[in-house]
Chains A and B, each alone.
Chain A
Amino acid sequence: MTTNILEQAEGHFEMFQVLNEEGEVVNKEALPDLSDEDLKELMKRMVYTRIFDQRAVSLNRQGRLGFYAPVAGQEASMLGSQYALEQKDWIIPGYRDVPQIVWHGLPLYQAFLFSRGHFHGGQIPEELNVLSPQIIIGAQIVQTAGVALGLKKKGKDSVAITYTGDGGASQGDFYEGMNFAGSFKAPAIFVVQNNQFAISVPAGEQTAAKTIAQKAVAAGIPGVQVDGMDVLAVYAATQEARSRALNGEGPTLLETLCYRYGPHTMAGDDPTRYRTSDLDDEWEKRDPLVRFRKYLESKDLWSEEQENEVVDKAKEEIKAAIKEADDTPKQKVSDLIENMHEVLPPHLKDQLEEYREKESK
């Protein structure tokens, strides 16, 4: 009987999909109400981000970038969810979630500075509601419950969204964040981008649960498993979660099934040690760009010329952003000291003086 209850429960977490791998609509009722311009914009952003990823990987190999976690394969999951937000919404990202905050408004050169470990990368422009990517797995999830509760208390008409991966769903903070937000009915959206591997450990080894989406049940909130290679499904699911949140119905957990084509980060990870090329091929058949391109071509909304234009524009803007990052003044120890407190304590004042003197030589 116990087994039966679990099986029945797990049966409720079937993957939500709008477009199949051929770019055909398989779930007409769920097709989001997006204009042709919106559809083209989504494609543009995914193509742009794929180029960004290629350039970032290459710049990293040349030693011109610092910490970088590749994003190719996750464009639909990242950008479909971000596109469902409004500018006033908060994004509290994990370390891989740079594209979402860039499309929300973080200047590209600052994303590169973040990668290089320059503090200006974290100086979020005024009026932009994002945090720098969180490095500790799960810390962003409990903070999101706080942002969402704050938005609710201030009566703001906006939500907080956060991202983690399949590994992140094993952290205590994952449950604490969902449970706090659920208990306070706070307007939060928790996205788990299940890209199948937490560095090397396969998602199936993280948990006995058949899906990550079902973990929402423990917190008493809805959970949805979404085809994370299908940008329309991710958009629709996020939009619904956002509406629920704004209606005072509380948080939602979204599990987006996706794949990272590249290594975990550019710091020496070798995916061939834990993944087969067969598995890579299997996921590449579901590629979010290929699928959405087919869909747009069937509607006569996309052409090779349009795509080339986006590619050229991306390359040009990335080049300019790298130049701007290069031109940013080098960071000094005195900058770091000054950013520690509003009112510097005496020992730091002494150390500030010491470093300023060294730096003036």
Chain B
Amino acid sequence: MAQMTMIQAITDAMRTELKNDENVLVFGEDVGQYGGVFRATEGLQKEFGEDRVFDTPLAESGISGLSIGLSLTGFRSVMEIQFFGFVFETMDGIAGQMSRLRYRSGDHYNAPVTVRSPFGGGVKTPELHADSLEGLMAQSPGLRVVVPSSPYDAKGLLISSIRDNDPVVFLEHMKLYRSFREEVPEEEYTVDLDKAAVKREGKDVSIITYGAMVQTSLKAADELAEEGIEAEIVDLRTISPLDMETVLESVKKTNRAIVVQEAQKQAGIANNVVAEINEHAILHLEAPVLRVTAPDTVFPFAAAEDVWLPDHTNVIEKVKSVVNF
């Protein structure tokens, strides 16, 4: 097994599927010869040719339209939105079109498209690069939304996303791209979509989270353990649909929960998680379910990022509130 960063695992997943299926195409802005602004597609054009890994003109709506049209002629597109803040340019293409192709055609056509895109704070980008817009996607019927938190999951989830016969929005937190390495098998494997994972077991409180906040929550859990509080961490991995079975199992065990997301309080997926727990497990709760989120402003200018983003101290504080309720 190799030690890989998340970006290497992502490249490896695309390479695996380009090899496995001649109908897989990888394209977007700068993804060809240049290998992508984060080098996610490094070497792929050289290995698989310009016919299968290629640059597009700079227009996000065009890229989504291309993916849909290619679906109709038998291709499986892995399209890149260079930064997810640019998704507003193609909300129709993703949430209005590819999400509805199967429904609109009464199950006759489908759009096996993976929309890959970097997002997430902590890397001091200009505006509309880092925003957590996953909630917009999660609220659109017909889309699956996947947010990996580690290199191993990223490879397995991306392979599953590419093989899925419906559109998947696959969001890659920029801060995780090169922040740590882990063991990733070089051979192919999949991680199931629609399945959360317990990343740390604990009996006192459930921390339900996803993306970069998994690392933040793990750090918080280590400090809490020193104070005798054992937190269980549920990494949602797929945020739409939610794997409530795994979440509820954890909540019924710990009887206390918080939801942690980088997105603003009104955005993301935390509200759905709280509502589902409320509907299905309220009598198991010893305390209200609290949320750790960013405030409801637009994603901040770079100089304010560090104080705006939730950190492990916010998680610790909220955990203590529900434990001591």
Contact = CB atoms under 8 A, between A and B. Distances in A.
A346 to B, nearest CB: 6
Contacts of A218: none
Given A120-B106, A345-B241, A160 B69 contact: yes
A21 interface: no
B106 A146 contact: no
Contacts of A132: 104-105
Interface in B71-107: 71-75, 92-93, 96-97, 102-107
Given A341-B142, A342-B166, A146 B66 contact: yes
Given A139-B65, A146-B70, A342-B165, A180 B57 contact: yes
B66 A145 contact: yes
Contact of A153 (B51, B97, B142, B241): B51
A173 interface: yes
Interface in B191-236: 194
Interface string B242-267: 11110000000000000000000000
B57 A183 contact: yes
Interface in A105-150: 119-120, 122-124, 131-132, 136, 139, 141-150
B102 A339 contact: yes
Given A153-B75, A154-B74, A342-B166, A122 B105 contact: yes
Contacts of A346: 194, 241, 243-245
Interface string A233-264: 00000000000000000000000000000000
For the residues of A in contact with B, the DSSP-based class is helix
Nearest to A151: B73
B197 to A, nearest CB: 16
A149 B69 contact: yes
Bin the interface of chain A by size. 35 or more
Most buried by A among B51, B59, B245: B59
B105 A149 contact: no
B253 to A, nearest CB: 20
A183 B63 CA distance: 13
Nearest to B73: A150
B143 to A, nearest CB: 10
Interface of A: 90, 92, 119-120, 122-124, 131-132, 136, 139, 141-151, 153-154, 156, 160, 172-173, 176-177, 179-180, 183, 335-336, 338-343, 345-348
28 contacts: A122-B104, A132-B104, A139-B93, A142-B61, A142-B68, A146-B68, A146-B69, A147-B70, A147-B73, A153-B25, A153-B70, A154-B73, A173-B61, A173-B65, A177-B62, A179-B62, A180-B57, A180-B59, A180-B65, A183-B56, A338-B107, A339-B106, A340-B103, A340-B142, A341-B142, A345-B194, A346-B245, A347-B241
Interface of B: 25, 51, 56-57, 59, 61-62, 64-75, 92-93, 96-97, 102-110, 141-142, 144, 164-166, 194, 241-245
